[in-house]
């Protein structure tokens, strides 16, 4: 079972919790996730399954889109609603113009200090482990990019926003810094990821929906492909070619082949038929491509040990 599916992650579970549940549902060990979500956060969590776990390397710097709510009036030690308040709550009166003006300062390439409760490492130790032990934490600012930060509404002490960010951006830190700017404290009350790379919230299924789909597929012998994103939708920035029977056999064996000219593309996705993504190939020279990442190896090829046994048994 090889493919990519998108889970609508519920609040309260870690990304690894979701991976473990999907492993049990699919009865498949090789499952990984793209782009960690905090337990508080919900929404788009793409999972790569089987041989397609090798595609994870293409998503390490993917753009992400979020919608969320910032609550003003007090900060927390985790910069979100799961943390301990840093002080008593205070009454806040916000205007849309005031919040929008501050939000503008966060658009573009900015310096950002990660939250103390984060996976950022200090001398090889994740910051959150030090924070839990109340040890001093000195996280250095890092450069991040917020491509869009739009204020959708202001309701009392709560601000609803939409943000489109490059990888590595902490919206918890944005909420915390906005509270500092206004002098009243703030934290991220809720966060929902709406998109990661080409995957949208409309693609997402709940864990319960995936379980029901797999039960249905097993009862009727097939149909589990309906759970997965169509392979032709993956990595849209890389052009696709469809291999012939002959070239597909060579590609599955990891051998270089001549493929159609594609405007000097450096990499191509190689399909066999309409649905089977068999490799990501890199141009060697001219129309010669080498399948550096083989996603559907030649299963008919036999090992030398198998061949020796076959000679002795007559098979």
User: E strand or H helix at 240, and its extent?
Assistant: strand 240-242
Residue 160 and residue 88 share a domain? yes
The answer on 246 and 178 residing in a single domain is: no
Full residue range of the structural domain in which residue 217 is found: 3-62+199-227
DSSP state letter for 2: -
Contact 162, 152 (CB under 8 A): yes
Q: Are residue 218 and residue 245 in the same domain, yes or no?
A: no
Asked about 245 being catalytic, the answer comes back as no
Number of domains in the chain: 3
C-alpha to C-alpha distance for 182 and 204, rounded to whole angstroms: 36
Contact predicate 86/78, CB 8 Å: no
Along the chain (315 residues), what's the average pLDDT of each consecutive run of 10 residues?
95 94 96 91 97 96 97 93 89 92 95 73 50 57 94 96 95 95 95 98 96 86 78 96 93 92 85 94 92 83 39 33
How does pLDDT run across 13-26, given as a tens digit for each residue?
989 999 999 999 99
- Shared domain for 104 and 179, answered yes or no, is yes
Same-domain status, 79 and 30:
no
CATH number of the domain encompassing residue 19: 3.30.2350.10
Q: Give yes or no: residues 29 and 117 share one domain.
A: no
- Residue range 81-114, pLDDT digits in tens: 988 899 899 999 899 999 999 999 999 999 998 8
Classify residue 70: in a domain, yes or no. Answer: yes
From the candidates 8, 38, 80, 157, give the one annotated as an active-site residue.
38
Residue 96, domain member (yes or no): yes
- CA distance linking residue 280 with residue 294, whole number of Å: 7
Tell me, yes or no, whether 312 lies in a domain.
Answer: no
In a domain, 139, yes or no: yes
Per-residue model confidence (pLDDT) at position 222: 62
Whole-number pLDDT of residue 7: 98
pTM: 0.87
CATH number for the domain harbouring residue 265:
2.30.130.10
């Amino acid at each position: 079972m090889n493919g990519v599916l998108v889970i609508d992650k519920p609040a309260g579970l870690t990304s690894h919790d979701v991976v473990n549940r999907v492993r049990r549902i699919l009865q498949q060990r090789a499952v990984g996730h793209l782009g960690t979500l905090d337990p508080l956060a919900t929404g788009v969590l793409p999972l790569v399954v089987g041989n397609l776990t090798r595609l994870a390397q293409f998503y390490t710097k993917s753009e992400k889109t979020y919608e969320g709510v910032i609550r003003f009036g007090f900060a927390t030690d985790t910069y979100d609603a799961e943390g301990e308040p840093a002080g008593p709550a205070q009454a806040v009166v916000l205007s849309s113009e005031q919040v929008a003006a501050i939000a503008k300062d966060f658009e573009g390439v900015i310096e950002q200090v990660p939250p103390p409760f984060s996976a950022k490492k200090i001398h090889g130790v994740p910051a959150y482990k030090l924070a839990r032990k109340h040890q001093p934490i000195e996280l250095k600012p890092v450069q991040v990019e917020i491509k869009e930060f739009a204020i959708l509404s202001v309701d009392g002490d709560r601000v609803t926003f939409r943000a489109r960010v490059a990888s590595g951006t902490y919206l918890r830190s944005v909420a915390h810094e906005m509270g500092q700017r206004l002098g009243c404290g703030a934290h991220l009350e809720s966060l929902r990821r709406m998109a990661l790379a080409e995957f949208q919230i409309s693609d997402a299924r709940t864990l319960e929906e995936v379980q029901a789909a797999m039960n249905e597929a097993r009862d009727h012998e097939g149909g589990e492909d309906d759970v997965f994103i169509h392979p032709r939708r993956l990595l849209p920035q890389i052009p696709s070619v469809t291999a012939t029977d002959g070239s597909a056999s060579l590609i599955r064996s990891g051998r270089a082949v001549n493929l159609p000219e594609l405007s000097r593309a450096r990499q191509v996705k190689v399909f066999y038929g309409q649905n089977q993504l068999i490799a990501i190939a890199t141009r060697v020279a001219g129309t010669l491509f080498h399948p550096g990442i083989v996603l559907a190896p030649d299963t008919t090829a036999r090992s030398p040990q198998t061949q020796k046994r076959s000679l002795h048994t007559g098979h």
